[in-house]
C-alpha cells in the first residue's frame, strides 16, 4: 500500500490514539526481550521492547546488521531503552533510505510516543544512513555511535565494479559519485551547530573501511567545526569484530546523552 503525505498524516493520527505499547506483527525473543517485526505501509520494521520502559521513552535507532554484536543493545534494553530498526538494505544511505527513516521517525515519535531525540547506532555501511539522516535532521538527534563506519562512498564501496549497486541506489554515474559532496565527511556542519556528540569505535588495522579515509577525516573536520567527537581505537584489529567486548564505554556515552 502506498501513502501520500496527507494519508500518512491521517494514518499517524489514528495510530496515535491507540495504546503506545500495543505492537502488532510477529513476536519473537531478542536476548529474552520481546521483539516485534511489523510493517508500516511499505516499511519493514523491528522494535525490541524493554521490560521496564525508562521515563521519556529513550531509544536507540539501529542501522543495518540488526542483532550483530548485540551487547550494547542488550545493556541499553536493561536500562529501559527501546531498540528500533527499519530496513534500508541496498540503499547505501541514499535519499530513498533517508525518506524511509523520515517516515519511521514520524511513526515512532507520533504514534508510539518515543523520545524526539534518539541515539543513532551504525556499524560499517550503516554509517552512511545514520549520518545522512542526522545531517538532514540535526535537531532530532541525541547522539551518534558509529562503529567502523563508512563515511564516504568513494572509500567504500567505491565507484568501480563493487560499487554498482551503490551507483544504482543514488542514480549516479561513476563520475558523479566521485564528484558527490553529500557524504557524511562533507556534511558535518549541521551536526556541529546542533552540538550533537559523536562516538566512533574503530579497528586501527581496518583495510575494508580505512580509518584514515573515514573516521580520521570525520574527527579532524568535526573538531575544526567545534564539535565533540570521541574515538576509541582498537589496536591491531581489522574491520571485524565490531563493538567492544565490554560495551560499557558505549553504553555510558549513549545513556549520558540520550536518557531524559
pLDDT at 165: 97
pLDDT at 256: 97
Say if residue 19's pLDDT is above 60: no
Mean pLDDT calculated for residue range 10-25: 55
C-alpha grid cell for residue 64?
543495518
- 574503530: which residue's cell? 202
Say if residue 9's pLDDT is above 50: no
The CATH architecture one would assign to domain 5-258 is 3-Layer(aba) Sandwich (3.40)
- Report the range of poorest mean pLDDT among 21-25, 67-71, 198-202: 21-25
Sign of the CA dihedral with 70 first, then 79, 48, and 89 last = negative
Say if residue 8's pLDDT is above 90: no
pLDDT at 22: 84
Other beta carbons within 10 Å of 160: 9
Mean pLDDT calculated for residue range 49-76: 95
pLDDT at 143: 98
Of 61, 52, 59, 60, whose CA–CA distance to 33 is shortest?
Answer: 52
Mean pLDDT calculated for residue range 173-188: 97
What are the structural domain ranges in the chain?
A: 5-258
Provide the percentage of residues in the chain whose pLDDT is more than 90. Answer: 88
Amino acid at each position: 500500500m502506498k501513502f501520500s503525505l496527507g494519508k500518512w498524516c491521517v494514518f499517524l493520527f489514528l495510530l496515535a490514539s491507540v495504546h503506545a505499547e500495543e505492537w502488532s506483527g510477529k513476536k519473537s525473543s531478542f536476548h529474552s526481550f520481546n521483539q516485534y517485526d511489523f510493517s508500516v505501509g511499505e516499511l519493514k520494521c523491528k522494535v525490541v521492547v524493554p521490560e521496564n520502559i525508562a521515563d521519556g521513552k529513550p531509544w536507540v535507532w539501529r542501522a543495518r546488521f540488526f542483532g550483530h554484536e548485540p551487547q550494547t543493545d542488550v545493556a541499553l534494553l536493561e536500562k529501559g531503552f527501546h531498540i528500533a530498526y527499519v530496513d534500508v538494505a541496498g540503499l547505501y544511505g541514499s535519499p530513498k533510505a533517508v525518506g524511509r527513516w523520515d517516515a519511521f521517525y514520524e511513526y515512532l515519535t507520533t504514534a508510539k510516543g518515543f523520545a524526539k531525540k534518539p541515539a543513532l547506532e551504525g556499524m560499517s555501511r550503516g554509517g552512511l544512513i545514520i549520518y545522512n539522516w542526522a545531517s538532514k535532521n540535526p535537531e532530532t538527534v541525541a547522539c551518534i555511535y558509529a562503529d567502523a563506519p563508512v563515511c564516504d562512498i568513494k572509500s567504500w564501496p567505491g565507484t568501480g565494479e563493487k560499487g554498482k549497486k551503490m551507483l544504482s541506489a543514488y542514480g549516479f554515474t561513476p563520475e558523479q559519485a566521485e564528484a558527490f559532496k553529500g557524504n557524511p565527511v562533507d556534511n558535518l556542519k549541521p551536526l556541529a551547530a546542533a552540538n550533537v556528540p559523536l562516538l566512533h569505535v574503530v579497528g586501527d588495522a581496518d583495510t575494508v573501511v580505512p580509518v584514515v579515509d573515514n573516521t580520521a577525516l570525520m574527527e579532524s573536520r568535526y573538531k575544526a567545526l567545534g564539535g565533540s567527537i570521541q574515538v576509541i581505537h582498537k589496536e591491531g584489529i581489522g574491520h571485524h569484530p565490531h563493538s567492544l567486548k565490554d560495551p560499557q564505554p558505549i553504553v555510558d556515552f549513549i545513556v549520558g546523552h540520550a536518557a531524559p
